[in-house]
């Protein structure tokens, strides 16, 4: 008998364009069809990978009901045409679902239980609003285990503004404007499009069509246009629809495998999984989660933020990103942070968003052989944070 520990690498990632919930791109498209499209495209883009070599399909969804239920990883694998021998499962860590799918399945690779896994996430917030069908135990509120504001993400963002009084609404709006500008530039430069797979959509009124680009971005957003937006979570508050991610639909998938298996199959390992960390925080200020998760990881690895050359942080709310930057002494406009913009512009389909962070970091690594380490990090509902440390396989020296 033996145990093994192997290096885990990110080989590829793909996602559907993200849509606006409600009457957006995917109003009449099933959630499971979105993730099936992603899995099929991953296999199409990697013809050197025999389908039977896939050992696991881990798919996250925050609201595991309806077309996001029924052990989605397994049903999606079957619907995508993978061999019936390929198992699958669902996972839920709210916004960090795809991150957790990658770390959980990746740990299985390192342990030697898997060679190849598909890890991803899907969220159709138009069909399944966050919290649909849940029945929170009344003890949570009656025994004051958490403040009632902890159950409304926008309220937790307002609470974070209270904790960080230097993060004003104007500062949050300015960050949001930069996110929109960076996404617009990334699209103009062709940076985002390679991660997208054209996705069939249907409308009873308009017929069939193709989703080819993200629907949420608002090019031309200005400080003036954000200044007058309402603050729905608190009278005279700081959080608005302009400095927060919207309600979105979309799916992401990533292909992870043992580094030696990638070499065997002739596939390009784009980045190496070094370590990861999840931690809990007070649910009332869930947005601060990336701070202790990253600190915990850094302490274990003996590194600091100065060793990290690229940071992909999910933009659930501008204040949450700014709290992270303030803690680590990083300027609001630091070039390392979300170089191609983030969820405030692109959208945040909850459990799928971690996949987008990973694939964008991998593409940035390919352009930056001078950068050795990068992180993907995000806050998580009910008071958590998660961070993954990645190493650039294209690293050629420098910081």
188 class by beta-carbon count within 10 Å (0-12 exposed, 13-18 middle, 19+ buried): exposed
Number of residues that make up the chain:
399
pLDDT of residue 5: 87
State the average pLDDT over residues 317-345.
98
Question: For residue 227, what are the contacts with CB-CB under 8 A and spacing of at least 6?
Answer: 173
pLDDT of residue 84: 98
Instruction: Give 18-84 as a DSSP string.
Output: PEETTTSTTTTS-HHHHHHHHHHHHHHH-TTS-GGG--EEEEE-SS-SGGG-SSHHHHHHHHTT--T
pTM of the model: 0.96
Report residue 22: phi and psi, to 5°: 95, -110
pLDDT of residue 151: 87
Q: What is the pLDDT of residues 94-136, one digit of tens each?
A: 999 999 999 999 999 999 999 999 999 999 999 999 889 889 8
Return the DSSP state at 95.
G
Question: For residue 236, what are the contacts with CB-CB under 8 A and spacing of at least 6?
Answer: none
Distance, CA of 396 to chain centre: 28
Q: Residue 399: pLDDT above 80?
A: no
pLDDT of residue 131: 85
CA angle at residue 117 from 116 to 120, to 5 degrees? 155
pLDDT of residue 398: 56
Quickly state the pLDDT bin for 263 (edges 50, 70, 90).
very high
pLDDT of residue 203: 87
Q: Residue 177: pLDDT above 90?
A: yes
State the average pLDDT over residues 248-276.
98
| Closest to 62 measured CA to CA, from 92, 90, 35, 36 | 92
Q: What is the pLDDT of residues 371-385, one digit of tens each?
A: 999 999 999 999 999
Backbone conformation region of residue 302, classed left if phi is above 0, alpha if psi is from -120 to 50, else beta: left
How far apart CA 236 and CA 65 sit, in angstroms, is 36
Quickly state the pLDDT bin for 397 (edges 50, 70, 90).
confident
Instruction: Specify the CATH architecture of the domain 146-192+275-388.
Output: 3-Layer(aba) Sandwich (3.40)
Q: What are the residue numbers of the active site?
A: 95, 348, 379
State the average pLDDT over residues 242-262.
98
Quickly state the pLDDT bin for 74 (edges 50, 70, 90).
very high
Quickly state the pLDDT bin for 346 (edges 50, 70, 90).
very high
State the average pLDDT over residues 139-156.
90
Residue in the structure block whose two tokens are 């052990």 = 71
pLDDT of residue 65: 94
Strand residues in the chain grouped as ranges (E): 8-15, 19-20, 56-60, 88-91, 116-124, 199-203, 207-211, 248-258, 271-280, 310-313, 373-380, 384-392
Outline where 69-168 has alpha helix (H): 72-79, 97-111, 139-142, 153-163
Q: Residue 226: pLDDT above 70?
A: yes
What is the percent of the chain with per-residue pLDDT over 90, rounded to a whole number? Answer: 92
**In whole numbers, what is the pLDDT of the chain averaged over residues?**
96
Quickly state the pLDDT bin for 2 (edges 50, 70, 90).
low
| Closest to 119 measured CA to CA, from 388, 313, 300 | 388
| Closest to 271 measured CA to CA, from 171, 151, 199, 371 | 371
Q: Residue 291: pLDDT above 80?
A: yes
Q: Residue 4: pLDDT above 80?
A: no
What Å distances lie between residue 72 and 69, 120, 251, 313, CA to CA? 6, 11, 12, 26
Is the four-CA dihedral 129, 130, 135, 139 of positive or negative sign?
Answer: negative
pLDDT: is 3 or 104 the higher one?
104
Quickly state the pLDDT bin for 241 (edges 50, 70, 90).
very high
């Amino acid at each position: 008998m033996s145990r093994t520990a192997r290096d885990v690498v990110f080989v590829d990632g793909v996602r559907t364009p993200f849509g606006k919930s409600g009457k957006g791109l995917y109003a009449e498209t099933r959630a499971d069809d979105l993730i099936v499209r992603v899995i099929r495209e991953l296999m199409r883009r990697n013809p050197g990978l025999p389908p039977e070599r896939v050992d696991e399909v881990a798919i996250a969804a925050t609201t595991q009901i309806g077309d996001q239920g029924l052990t989605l990883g397994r049903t999606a694998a079957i619907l995508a045409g993978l061999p019936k021998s390929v198992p699958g499962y669902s996972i839920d860590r709210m916004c960090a679902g795809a991150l957790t799918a990658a770390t959980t399945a990746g740990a299985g690779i390192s342990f030697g239980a898997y060679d190849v896994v598909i890890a991803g996430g899907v969220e159709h917030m138009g069909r399944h609003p966050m919290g649909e069908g849940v029945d929170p135990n009344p003890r949570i509120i009656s025994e004051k285990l958490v403040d009632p504001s902890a159950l409304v993400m926008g309220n937790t963002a307002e609470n974070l503004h209270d904790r960080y009084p230097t993060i004003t609404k104007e500062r949050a709006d300015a960050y949001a404007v930069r996110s929109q500008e960076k996404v617009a530039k990334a699209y103009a430069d062709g940076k985002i499009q390679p991660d997208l797979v054209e996705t069939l959509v249907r409308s009873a009124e308009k017929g069939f069509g193709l989703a080819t680009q993200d629907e949420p971005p608002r090019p031309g957003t200005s400080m003036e246009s954000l200044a007058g937006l309402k603050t729905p979570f608190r009278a005279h508050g700081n959080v608005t629809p302009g400095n927060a991610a919207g309600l979105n639909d979309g799916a992401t998938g990533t292909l992870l495998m043992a580094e030696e298996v990638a070499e065997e199959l002739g596939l390009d390992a784009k980045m190496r999984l070094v370590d990861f960390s999840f931690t809990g925080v007070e649910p009332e200020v869930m947005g601060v989660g990336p701070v202790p998760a990253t600190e915990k990881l850094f302490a274990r690895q003996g590194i600091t933020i100065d060793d990290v050359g690229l940071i992909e942080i999910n933009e659930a709310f501008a204040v949450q990103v700014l709290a992270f930057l303030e803690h680590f002494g990083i300027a609001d406009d630091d070039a390392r942070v979300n170089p191609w913009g983030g969820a405030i512009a692109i959208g945040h389909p909850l459990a799928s968003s971690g996949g987008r962070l990973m694939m964008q970091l991998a593409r940035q690594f390919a352009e930056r052989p001078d950068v050795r380490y990068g992180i993907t990090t995000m806050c998580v509902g009910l008071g958590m944070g998660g961070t993954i440390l990645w190493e650039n396989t294209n690293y050629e020296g420098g910081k």
